[in-house]
Amino acid sequence: MIKIEFMKMNGAGNDFVMIDGRSLPDTGLSKDIIHRICDRRRGAGADGLIIIKPSDRADFEMEYYNADGGPGSLCGNGARAAIKFAKMKNYFEGKSTRFVVNGVYYKGEYIDENLMQFFAGNPGKTKLDFRIKAAAQLINSHFADTGSPHAVIEIKDILQNPKDPRSGFTDISEIPVYELGKEIRFSKDFAPGGLNVNFIQIKDEGIFVRTYERGVEDETLACGTGSIASAIVANLKYKLPSPVTIFTRGGDTLKVEFEKKDGIPADIRLSGPAEINYTGTFEINNNLKSEKE
């Protein structure tokens, strides 16, 4: 039997099991074990699992796994949680840090106890105004690769009645995020990897965002890379200036800042809360058990 200490954290409601890789056996954790840890009924319950471990060329390396146990792409809120966790585990001194995710180097800033900033760099491919077939209609959509692939859809472009062109949604709380997000995420047009799906409503005070996340296969309370993608689309399509305030499903706010280079948002920074939920210990054998503290 192996005992592993963990910390449960959340970034704007996006929750993670955090593990210091120095405490893990050489074999690491299997996909099945990670899935069981993230199970909300049989484990600690989380949107994902993050392992931080020493790096020869940076302060630390961050490994992110989706709730289904498979390796994930970049996670913005997870990166902010990792910055706080790494600071607590003495992986770096001072306020600034440099770390590796999937072979890419990023920077972070420990602003204060509950506010972390993640320097996400520059976006990959972006595309505005293309159609996705879903919900018995063609929905105007946008795409941004922010380390993870994201579709961004304005709620007014989704018809409640496909036969009535005036029936676009006006309240983001009424969007069927799970049903519609799942249909788009698994659309053959985005096979085999799929993508995350963000539904947005732009108001004077900022952007309200709800996200269906692949790997979790459900709506999450916040999505960091989805927030960045939403801010990029709003800037490119409507010239929404930096900084952009993002209002999440969980009730927290995130801030996306950027510069403009060749007309595209660049040097992107994501700031927001990173909180500790609790600490505990896993016992790993044939049956996974966990104890909270």
Could you tell me the residue ranges of all domains in the chain? Answer: 2-114+275-292, 126-272
Please give the single-letter amino acid code of residue 102.
N
Is the pLDDT score of 131 beyond 80? yes
Set 18, 46, 62, 75: catalytic member: 75
For residue 67, the surrounding DSSP H or E stretch is none
Query: Is the pLDDT assigned to residue 213 strictly greater than 70?
Result: yes
Six-digit token pair at 191? 């096979």
User: What's the pLDDT score for residue 292?
Assistant: 58
Single out the catalytic residue among 9, 223, 240, 284: 223
The pLDDT > 90 percentage for the chain reads: 92
- pLDDT over 70, % of the chain: 97
pLDDT of 26: 81
Question: Mean pLDDT, the chain, as a whole number?
Answer: 95
Query: Selecting from 3.10.310.10, 3.40.50.300, 3.20.20.60, 3.20.20.100, what CATH number does the domain 2-114+275-292 have?
Result: 3.10.310.10
pTM, rounded to two decimals: 0.95
| Domains 2-114+275-292 and 126-272 fall in the same CATH topology | yes
Q: Has 75 been annotated as catalytic?
A: yes
Return the pLDDT at 27.
78
Cβ contact 114:275 at 8 Å = yes
* Tens digit of each residue's pLDDT (9 = 90 or more) over 219-264: 999 999 999 999 999 999 999 999 999 999 999 999 999 999 999 9
Spatial neighbors of 212 by CB under 8 A, at least 6 apart, are 177, 178, 180, 181, 182, 184, 185, 196, 197, 218, 219
Sequence-ordered list of residues with C-beta below 8 angstroms from that of 17, at least 6 positions apart, any chain:
6, 7, 8, 37, 38, 44, 46, 48, 49, 50
Those residues with Cβ within 8 angstroms of residue 198's Cβ, 6 or more apart along the chain or in another chain: 150, 151, 152, 153, 209, 210, 211, 223, 226, 229, 230
Whether residue 93 is predicted with pLDDT greater than 60 in this model: the reply is yes
Q: Which amino acid is residue 124, in one-letter code?
A: G
CA–CA distance, 78 with 11 (Å, rounded to integer): 7
For 99-105, what is the mean pLDDT? 97
- Domain 126-272: give its CATH superfamily: Diaminopimelate Epimerase; Chain A, domain 1 (3.10.310.10)
> In this predicted model, which residue has the larger pLDDT, 201 or 286?
201
Q: What is the pLDDT of residue 119?
A: 98
Q: State the burial class of residue 25 (Cβ atoms within 10 Å of its Cβ: 0-12, 13-18, 19+).
A: exposed
Q: How many CB atoms lie within 10 A of CB 286?
A: 5
- Asked whether 270 and 256 are in contact (CB, 8 A), the reply is yes
Given a cut of 80, whether residue 9 has pLDDT beyond it is yes
More confident residue, 291 or 45: 45
